[in-house]
Structure 1
Amino acid sequence: MRILFFSHYFPPEVNAPASRTFEHCAQWVAEGHDVTVITCAPNCPDGVVYEGYKNTFRSQTEEVQGIKVIRVWTYVAPNAGTIRRILNFVSYMISAVMASLWLKRPDVIIATSPQFFCGWAGVIASRLKRTKFVLEIRDIWPESIEVVGALRNRTLLKVLEFLERRMYLAADHIVAVGEGYRQKIIEKVNVAERTSVVMNGVDLSSFVPREPDIDFKRKWNLEGKFVCSYIGTIGMAHGLDVVIRAAKLLAAKGRDDIRFCLVGDGAVREKLQQEAQAAGVDSMVQFTGRMAKAEMPTVLASSDVCLVHLRGVELFGTVIPSKIFETMAMCRPIIMGVRGEACAMVLEAGAGVEMEPDSETSLLSAIEPLADNPAMTNELGVSGREYVTRNFDRKVLAKRMLRTLHEVCGLEFPADKDVAANTELAAERT
């Protein structure tokens, strides 16, 4: 097949949509398909174009592991502020559609959220190209930006909600990354018969358990400490002020053996750093800033436990953070501060412990027993690796989505035992 993929994010950006898109597309290329990705110059999350790239009106083309990557101009903006971000999203939609006009007609167009103007690029291009359209949903937008207070204008929200429903109806098929997302979609529009779930996973060949990296621990003053790491976007939805409050409680108790390490960047990173300094716990909470995807196995290996956290609002109970799969693959236990399906999955795997979102006392109740019991910590980590190996191999999941693309296009897909087994497991879990 000839596959055209619209994604606002793509490596060297290191967020979840960039990783999922790249790993799926690379697998499809390996299966013999022709894949083109239309994206923008890498700049997430701070709105500064990465070294070696340019944000120009003339599209730039490169090849990444057999994937043709076309980078189009956008109005570049940091991951903060509503109006500038919407301008960023809309400019991508316009530029991406224009770039698609010069390409050969694909068999199928895919567009991925988390922002739906990328989805609308897929809608428009599929109409212009007269081809099938598959919409991938990773976030319920604009509802997710409303619940964190990033957008409060009710008139604008109603317009965006109307566009959201029309986008769902325009898709020939919708792939959600979790059952919670699928349920949210069919609550809004009656598309259950053309909606499926292909969850996130992990490249097991890249995330292999290893010994802690001494240089990393020395650089961030983590030597001899029990390290609880948070890895990912440091944004409004993630509620990481809970870490600062937990560090204050640890300091008050006189526990100097536990450290927090926040790896990543986002809209509230600087604010959190200032809060840590003001509270006198900046030595207990290390901020590394953004790190390359290739460094994530090192970070995970150098952590004793990882925190996965979102604010405790109802909508976030539908989220399944992709970082849980990479963490489990590296034999690291999880402190799960996300409700719903994701938490149930981690507990089912025996790969971590639960905490109440936004509660610093609950965070300490989770982390202190792990710090005091290395055997339990190790057992949880081993159990997690076994679980993702059985259920969430990214290559198997990429094949499953590829089968969906074949079905949408009316093409026969060769039988694959791994895909069939994974589909059966997903059906049982649903």
Structure 2
Amino acid sequence: MYKIAVVTMGVRLNDEKGYTRFRYICEFLTDAGYKVDLITTTFQHWEKAQRDLEKIRKEQYKFGIKFIYEPGYKKNVDPRRIHSHAVAAKNLTALLEKEGDYDLIYAEIPPNDVALAAAEFAKRKGIPFVADVNDLWPEAMRMVLDIPVVSDILFYPLKRDAEKVYSLVSGVIGTSDEYRDRPFQRQERPIPRETVYVGNELREFDEGAEKNREEIRKPDGEFWVSYAGTIGTSYDIRTMVLAAEELMKRGRTEIRFKILGGGPMKEELEELASSRNISSVEFVGYAPYDKMAAYLKASDVLVNSFVRKAPQSIVTKIGDYLAAGKPMINTCMSPEFRAKVEHDGFGINIEPEDVSVLADAVERLHGDKDGCARMGQKAREIAEEQFDRPKSYRKIEALIRGLIEKNQNEGETWKD
């Protein structure tokens, strides 16, 4: 039985907030016959608090869990986060040196220094290392701080660590084609690579939506335009709020905007809506996954809302948006995702950060029931074909198995 370590600083365990991608990977690999250890941090990223480890240890998981101490931080963009990750990276190295009897290590990047600790250990042990590229640092950091020369100096360690990790990978999983190919931008290497969207489990999404269907009821005549996700610098929620105001001025009071989620800009944008008396916007706040699914299914249009400079590509929420079977308005400027929206036919692309353009797009879809139905049907088809984890994550297992078997065969050949 092959033994694998899955390293991530961001995973939701049972009742916590956050994303489930890495927990699902652990469960999927366990079901495929591997012995799996999830190695994660004592600090819960989404709740910004230390975990209750005693409680977690009493819970049931298919896989093993090992914790490395991380001091934590208060905000996503915070100097203390750099220090926190550095401590986590050092503690990861210590844990692996003591208990790292694995056939392969699978680690997310970012955080770059934590991934580097895993990659360097794998090299010393002579085992394969797979990087799961689900964001780009320091590129994403420039959304918050982009000062010529200063940002280059400040972010150099992140860039250096990323390139080191990319030089050590045995295989790459990217959550988009852009992320999949990033490790080869400056150093082309003949190693396996696959795109596996973050995706979701359609069965879980559908069950959650059905469970909460009666609670999330849309009044007759209302047309819901919804967003679910982080309310932060990369996400253009301000334009959604002001588009709601513009549509009110046009007399379209039946069009209501639902903003699900939390983040550093939530209070500021709530104040904006309140001060301008934009009554057609509701900040729902954080919703558990099953309740969020019900909101998305009840909505008429979903907005993948990003500012122009946002570096994101195909993000976590896309799988849930598509699963809902609703048309999408996309403002993300990723060439890869804009091409996908157009090619697959599940929505429309518009320019970001333009209130009138967004209001016009919403109004146009409001008046095109047949078009919305067609786009919604295409969205659900794409969700089933490309984003349903039980199908799509098979590519991760195949890549892992190929690397382990190749490594072991080469070892046997060397012995001979």
- What's the TM-score bracket when you normalise by the shorter of the two chains? 0.7 to 0.9
CA separation of 1:80 and 1:9: change in aligned 2, threshold 3 A: closer
Alpha-carbon distance, 1:250 to partner: 1.6
CA separation of 1:81 and 1:400: change in aligned 2, threshold 3 A: closer
TM-score relative to the length of structure 2: 0.86
Alpha-carbon distance, 1:45 to partner: 3.1
Count of residues paired in the alignment = 399
Match of 1:348 in 2: 343
Amino acid aligned to 1:25: C
Match of 1:275 in 2: 272
Match of 1:207 in 2: 205
CA separation of 1:41 and 1:260: change in aligned 2, threshold 3 A: farther
Match of 1:425 in 2: none
Amino acid aligned to 1:176: G
- State the Cα deviation string for residues 390-428 of structure 1 (Å, max 9, x = none): 23331222111111111211259xxxxxxxxxxxxxxxx
Superposed counterparts of 1:29-428, under 5 Å:
29-41=30-42, 43-49=44-50, 53-54=51-52, 61=57, 65-103=61-99, 105-127=101-123, 129-149=125-145, 153-191=151-189, 193-208=191-206, 213-217=213-217, 224-281=221-278, 283-313=279-309, 315-316=311-312, 319-339=313-333, 340-410=335-405
Distance in 1 (CA, whole Å) between partners of 2:164 and 2:361 is 43
Distance in 2 (CA, whole Å) between partners of 1:403 and 1:352 is 32
CA separation of 1:100 and 1:293: change in aligned 2, threshold 3 A: farther
Distance in 1 (CA, whole Å) between partners of 2:227 and 2:169 is 35
Distance in 2 (CA, whole Å) between partners of 1:133 and 1:157 is 25
Distance in 1 (CA, whole Å) between partners of 2:110 and 2:262 is 17
Alpha-carbon distance, 1:7 to partner: 0.7
CA separation of 1:107 and 1:342: change in aligned 2, threshold 3 A: same
Distance in 1 (CA, whole Å) between partners of 2:134 and 2:55 is 26
CA separation of 1:25 and 1:224: change in aligned 2, threshold 3 A: farther
RMSD: 2.7
| SS class of match (2:38) | strand
Distance in 2 (CA, whole Å) between partners of 1:150 and 1:294 is 37
Alpha-carbon distance, 1:298 to partner: 1.7
Distance in 1 (CA, whole Å) between partners of 2:220 and 2:41 is 39
Alpha-carbon distance, 1:347 to partner: 2.7
| SS class of match (2:270) | helix
Distance in 2 (CA, whole Å) between partners of 1:279 and 1:48 is 35
Query: Percent of counterpart pairs with the same letter?
Result: 22
Whether the 8 Å contact between 1:82 and 1:150 is mirrored in structure 2 is no
- State the Cα deviation string for residues 32-57 of structure 1 (Å, max 9, x = none): 211111112463335245xxx437xx
Alpha-carbon distance, 1:168 to partner: 0.8
Amino acid aligned to 1:354: N
CA separation of 1:65 and 1:299: change in aligned 2, threshold 3 A: farther
- State the Cα deviation string for residues 85-134 of structure 1 (Å, max 9, x = none): 21232232233333334435111111102322331232244245542211
CA separation of 1:67 and 1:327: change in aligned 2, threshold 3 A: same
Alpha-carbon distance, 1:225 to partner: 2.1
Distance in 1 (CA, whole Å) between partners of 2:187 and 2:406 is 27
Whether the 8 Å contact between 1:62 and 1:70 is mirrored in structure 2 is no
Amino acid aligned to 2:332: V
Distance in 1 (CA, whole Å) between partners of 2:214 and 2:24 is 29
Alpha-carbon distance, 1:366 to partner: 1.8
Whether the 8 Å contact between 1:62 and 1:68 is mirrored in structure 2 is no
